[in-house]
Copies of this chain bind each other. A is one copy, B any other.
Amino acid sequence: MPAPAQRRRPRGKCAMLKNVISPKNRIDTKTFEKKIAPLKERLGILQRSLHDAGIPVVVVMEGWDAAGITRSTKMVIDSLDPRGFTLHTIEQPTDNERVRPFLWRFWVRTPQKGRIAIFARSWYSRAISAEMQKASWTKSLKGRTIAINNFERQLSDDGAVIVKFFLHIEKEEQKRRFIAREHDPLKAWLVTPALWEIHKSYELSLPVIDHFLEKTDTKSAPWHVLDATDENFAVLKIYTALEAALEKALLVKSGEKPAKLPDPLLPEKRPVKRSAGNYKDGKSCTREECQPALDALQEEMIRVQGLLFKRKIPLIIVYEGWDAAGKGGNITRLARYMNPRGYDVIPTSAPGATEKSHHYLWRFVRNFPQAGHIAIFDRSWYGRVLVERVENFCTKNEWQRAYREINEMEADYVYSSGGGIIKFWLEITKDEQLRRFEQREDDPLKQWKITDEDWRNREKWDLYDKAVDEMLARTSTKIAPWTVIGSEDKWPARIRTIEKVTSYCRDLLE
């Protein structure tokens, strides 16, 4: 970790780091080997059981420099089947990761069901490193810990086991180890002047790290802070704590009890009024009548897109709406007004096997836009509280949890990337849908657009109607409100979406 800027720091009690459990005596090699053998065998068996039970596991290894993260990690891996885990060594982000939200590179590395992801250093080292560069970090630290806690809770709610270790050594011990390394010809190059700078600011970092540990020591992802002065002791502790956590997860799973009680349902923020009409004076307008407005918007769209690109601000545009409400045509018109080098349209279809074996948000986060780019989602993560809810593709607990998860994810994206998000609901009446379905069936060029599934969905109009109301009410947050586009007339609807996008971007750029 880098040397911190020397400014205001919390003067905490260092509750986490002052109460580290230490061994009474050093553990000699013979005792260690005797004790570790059955633990290793047990971990191998647990790995297999977790695989069969489809439980994903996240292990976080953190600690002071020279506390032995690499060695301890290697000791844990030693007893695992290499085909069932992935080790992620977290260093500086690559240029592709740098242009994404902070947690993006960790989201894409979350394990599939039944696999173990081990992070040797993690979002904690990256967050601490980022925060320590700042003169005053109280506020942003709070934002970070909330984002991290949300991330870990979401994984845990989805069935993942999360075990976090912090390897603690005293300043003097760190000094001894640095000096020992300097005398080892194979390791001397590791001990850079920058590392000595970090050593010198040990006391300054102490309350910062402690603060982080304390605020993220949650029930779903607890910390195990260990005295790593005696490496044998630390490794044994890691094994014991890891196995206890994994055994507990297996017991819960086999008991078929829900992993946790459902969260209290997120309160409705405000009802959002839907209206299918969209023209000021109740009049429709034709393509020709709309053309002048469209021409003006096209120029404006190119202008604001260029500014977003130059200022490296990402933008997400979500399209949801009734079947036949005109999402496709609307997206086509919007996209036509943009520079094709700077946007992607992401179609959302039913999840495949790989996607199902991850948290449902995983596949969407993967497609989040990089800095300066625009991602247009044709249907989205809201499928969870619409089609998946109505068709019972997920449990009630799962879709109810989703409102909160979605709000958190959207807020984290906006805060950590500085980007924008626009969410469109395309509204039409039931009668208009029927008219369009029939029109599509009559038109040989449009027949492919209409399937039996569309008719089946239509039968459940009322159920969908209720789900839409609830979605709009619970996820129309201040930071990511919904915009209802009355789409009974398609041309005015198109104009309104593009108008909304340009005006939103102008606000964002201010």
Interface residues of A (CB under 8 A from B): 45, 48, 52, 70, 73-74, 77-78, 81-84, 86-87, 89, 94-96, 120, 328, 331-332, 335-336, 339-341, 344-345, 347, 352-354, 376, 378, 445, 448
Contact = CB atoms under 8 A, between A and B. Distances in A.
Given A83-B328, A328-B83, A89 B353 contact: no
A46 to B, nearest CB: 12
Which 5 pairs show the lowest CB-CB distances between chains A and B? A82-B335, A82-B345, A352-B353, A83-B347, A89-B341
B83 A378 contact: yes
B340 A376 contact: no
Contacts of A336: 78
With a 10 A CB-CB cut-off, give which of A82, A87, A95 has the most chain B CB atoms.
A82
A479 to B, nearest CB: 27
30 contacts: A45-B445, A73-B340, A74-B339, A74-B340, A81-B328, A81-B332, A82-B331, A82-B335, A82-B376, A83-B328, A83-B331, A83-B345, A83-B347, A83-B378, A84-B347, A86-B344, A87-B340, A87-B341, A89-B341, A94-B94, A94-B95, A94-B96, A95-B95, A95-B96, A96-B96, A120-B341, A352-B353, A352-B354, A353-B353, A354-B354
Nearest to A329: B81
B344 A448 contact: no
B352 A82 contact: no
Nearest to A51: B448
A221 B77 CA distance: 47
A45 B74 CA distance: 57
A73 B335 CA distance: 14
A340 B77 contact: yes
A230 to B, nearest CB: 22
Contacts of A376: 82
A317 to B, nearest CB: 12
Nearest to A356: B352
Contacts of A328: 81, 83
A331 B84 CA distance: 12
Nearest to A333: B82
Given A83-B378, A335-B82, A345-B82, A448 B352 contact: no
A404 to B, nearest CB: 29
Given A70-B341, A83-B345, A96-B96, 8 more contacts: A77-B340, A82-B345, A82-B376, A94-B94, A94-B95, A94-B96, A95-B96, A352-B354
A392 to B, nearest CB: 22
Contacts of A95: 94-96
Contacts of A81: 328, 332
A376 B345 CA distance: 35
A38 to B, nearest CB: 14
A412 B353 CA distance: 31
Contacts of A339: 74
A344 B376 CA distance: 34
Contacts of A45: 445
A344 B84 CA distance: 11
Contact of A448 (B48, B331, B378): B48
A82 B344 CA distance: 8
A73 B341 CA distance: 10
A327 to B, nearest CB: 9
Contacts of A82: 331-332, 335, 345, 376
A419 B335 CA distance: 42
Contacts of A353: 352-353
Contacts of A83: 328, 331, 345, 347, 378
A490 to B, nearest CB: 16
Contacts of A345: 82-83
A289 to B, nearest CB: 21
A39 to B, nearest CB: 16
A332 B81 CA distance: 6
A345 B115 CA distance: 12
Nearest to A89: B341
Nearest to A350: B353
Contacts of A347: 83-84
A96 B96 CA distance: 8
A84 B335 CA distance: 13
A378 B120 CA distance: 24
A73 B448 CA distance: 27
Contacts of A344: 86
